[in-house]
Structure 1
Amino acid sequence: MVDPLAEVVMLLQPAARFSKQVVGAGRWRIRRSDAGQPFYCAVLEGSCRLALDGCEPIVLQAGDFILVPAAFGVAMSSLEPLNEAADTVPASLGPGLFRIGTAEGPIDLRIQAGHCSFGSPDKTLLVSLLPQYVHVRGEQRLATLVALVSEESREKRPAREVVLARLLEVLLIEALRATASTTASPGLARGLADARISAAIRAMHEYPARPWTVLALAKQAALSRSAFFERFGRTVGVPPMEYLLAWRMALAKDLLRSGDMGIAHVAERVGYSSASTFSVAFARHVGRTPTQYAREQAIEKDALTADHLSS
């Protein structure tokens, strides 16, 4: 059976950028702009407040994990407000360890925070299928995975990048599927936690070439057309046909990058009756024709291969 969550995560091609442990004491506040990069944080001890652009502040407690697939403005602070106008500057205590707040005395917070990157050229489209953020409480499996990512990031072991990529895939999937028991924002994970909506999403992923309509998808979900349309939009965050188009375009880009299929074959695989119809839809969605996109990807792949051979 096709697993939509695993498909999206693997297409994202996650890679580790860095992971660090931060300890805190007293009052503090830090802000940063992450330019849409994925961010995750696990609270190991104590509590703090997290504010993301466009969202209400969240109080994070020991045992909490938060994943933001595309972080922009991020602000973290102690629960007690900081009186001074200036933000806190983290002090390095050694490789991968930082302190915030008062420089002396016992700590009252310990977190493991990390950033990763998504290697897919289609990452913006794929991230749009995910929730704005995922907040999970009390999942020991996530804490274990974060610890493994942190440890692997610091070590220079053989096949380190491969191991990190697999660990991050598991971490992302584990965090996203844990949303069945959380209040995740609308997105793919929340849709898959809804048995009715999940049936329609899995059908779209398993048979993307079918001539789906809202009514046909509603039958998969065993709902009326109107009830399905409203419930899908509320749960996933986009209308069903918009989700289907996004998934078809993600698949088409992946097939075109591989270079193993002609345009007509790709069109057929993603549900278009002709290469010309597919080309018009692809150009409208991507801004380039399938032929132009495939050529650009081939040039980029050749350049990366040449760089690798010369290094």
Structure 2
Amino acid sequence: MTDPLAEVVSLLQPGAPFSKLVVASAPWAVRRAEVSRPFYFVMLEGGCHMRIDSPTGSTNGTGTQSDTLTLAEGDFVLIPAARSFATCSLGREPPREGEAVPTPVVAMPGGARVGDPQGAVDVRMLVGTCEFGSADAALLVPLLPQWVHVRDERRLSTLVQLVGDESRAQRPARDIVMARLLEVLLIEALRSTASTSASPGLVRGLADPRLALALRRMHERPAQPWSVVQLAREAAMSRSAFFERFSRAVGMAPMEYLLAWRMALAKRMLRQRELPIADIAERTGYSSVSTFGVAFTRHVGMPPGRYARSESEGLQAAPAEA
């Protein structure tokens, strides 16, 4: 059986090249406005609040939209799409966008000290940026939730403990082991749908048994000329109920999701340069090269042939740039 999440994660090629240990003493608050890369949090000890700025979050009364989470020891949070967020100690509100944050932050070897430098440490967390090695990341990340919060997951808790242990030790090859553990942690978090709290996206869609059937059919047979009616039938739902439930859970309409997945597959096949464009068009559900070309150009920003040539030229130039 096709696993849609595994396919997306495999195409994304997730990695965790950077992490640092943050220790904090209450009261404290930090806002991160730099949003160049996706971000993750591993709560090793204590707890905190997190506010994630989000275009589809709940309105907080200031015109800005956000989602607020409460993190506890052993929790893991992944923010796949780069966006600003704020964290703070328990018992206070995370600072909003534009709000002054007076908490002192002092650099220390391998991380940072937040709050009163003389205060008792009540929070330890591993934070860092992750990256997606795929050239299709811009197409695939929108299929993921805007945030993923995993709690009370035994396998993930074990990984968190291993990460925490490795972060405190000075063993040989520590950085390599940490990078591999964090990569596994990222993948485990994305696939832990049964115990995951997440904003709309593929994770939430797969957690719904009926929607999961439709999602698997789209991934198993992307070439089939699917319609909303046919997908609703796969989910054993009425057209209107399926459309509303899918859009609410996944964060996009069914046909919009199907288009994004087809385009990701098409880009991969074009980069591999093993099939003529006519075959790629057929494998991604288009009856002719022209209709495929129109859809691809509208979605990606350039015709399929030019995309394949640009990717090939980029690969050829890479060794010379190294």
Q: TM-score, normalised by structure 2?
A: 0.86
Letter in 2 for 1:175: A
- 1:60 aligns to 2:71 (yes or no): yes
- The residue that corresponds to 1:9 in the other structure is 9
Letter in structure 1 aligned against 2:86: A
Measured in 2, the distance between the counterparts of 1:159 and 1:91 equals 23
Equivalent position of 2:59 in the other structure:
none
The count of corresponding residues between Structure 1 and Structure 2 is 305
- 1:99 Cα shift? 1.1
Q: What are the within-5 Å matches in structure 2 for residues 182-261 of structure 1? A: 182-261=196-275
1:155: how far off? 7.3
Give the partner amino acid of 1:98.
A
How far the C-alpha of 1:159 sits from its partner, in A, is 11
Hey, what's the Cα distance between the residues in 1 that align with 2:216 and 2:182? 23
User: CA offsets, 1:57-109, max 9 Å, x none?
Assistant: 22212222211101311211223549994433432331x23211111142111
Change in 2 beyond 3 A, CA 1:47/1:157: closer
SS at match of 1:128: helix
* Equivalence for 2:106: 91
Is 1:296 the equivalent of 2:307?
no
Is the Cα contact below 8 Å between 1:48 and 1:61 reproduced in 2?
A: yes
Q: Would the aligned equivalents of 1:41 and 1:112 in 2 still touch at CA under 8 Å?
A: yes
Choose 83-92 or 219-228, whichever is displaced more.
Answer: 83-92
User: Structure 2 vs 1, CA of residues 149 and 30 (structure 1 numbering), >3 Å: closer, same or farther?
Assistant: same
C-alpha RMSD of matched pairs (Å): 2.7
Q: How many Å separate the matches in 1 of 2:40 and 2:277?
A: 38
Partner of 2:41: 41
CA distance in 2, matches of 1:106, 1:112: 18
The corresponding residue for 2:88 is 77
Q: Taking every aligned residue pair, what percent have the same amino acid on both sides?
A: 56
Decide whether the 8 Å contact of 1:19 with 1:149 is kept in 2. Answer: no
1:110-130 alpha-carbon deviations (Å, 9 max, x no partner): 111121111222212211001
Say if 1:52 and 1:71, in contact at 8 Å, map to a contact too. Answer: no
> Matches of 1:43 and 1:286 in 2, distance apart?
38
Select which of 139, 149, 154 maps to 1:125. 139
> SS in structure 2 opposite 1:261?
coil
SS of the equivalent of 1:216 reads helix
Structure 1 position 101 matched with structure 2 position 115: yes
Amino acid at match of 1:87: P
CA distance in 2, matches of 1:167, 1:253: 29
Normalised TM-score (structure 1): 0.89
**1:100/1:168 CA distance change after superposition, 3 Å:** closer
What amino acid maps onto 1:25 in structure 2? S
The 8 Å contact of residues 283 and 290 in structure 1, kept in 2 or not, is answered as yes
1:57 partner SS = strand
Tell me, in whole angstroms, the C-alpha distance in 2 between the residues paired with 1:230 and 1:287: 29
* Matched residue type, 2:13: Q
For residue 271 of structure 1, what is the aligned residue in structure 2?
285
User: What is the CA distance between 1:180 and its match in structure 2?
Assistant: 2.6
Preserved contact between residue 38 and residue 79 of structure 2 (Cα < 8 Å): yes
**Matched residue SS, 2:210:** helix
Question: Would the alpha carbon gap of residues 85 and 215 (structure 1) be closer, same or farther in structure 2, given more than 3 Å must change?
Answer: closer
Tell me if structure 2 keeps the 8 A contact 1:190–1:235: yes
Q: Could you give the per-residue CA deviations for residues 239-275 of structure 1, whole angstroms, max 9, x where no partner exists?
A: 1111000000010011111122221111111111111
Q: 1:206, CA displacement in angstroms?
A: 0.8
Q: 2:49 is aligned with what amino acid?
A: R
Question: How far is the alpha carbon of 1:220 from its aligned partner?
Answer: 1.1
Paired residues of 2:44 and 2:160 also in contact (CA < 8 A) = no
Match of 1:20 in 2: 20
CA contact (8 A) 1:44 1:112 kept: yes
- The alpha carbon displacement at 1:294 in A equals 0.6
- Deviations along 1:186-211, one digit per CA (max 9) or x if unpaired, are 11011111111001100100110011
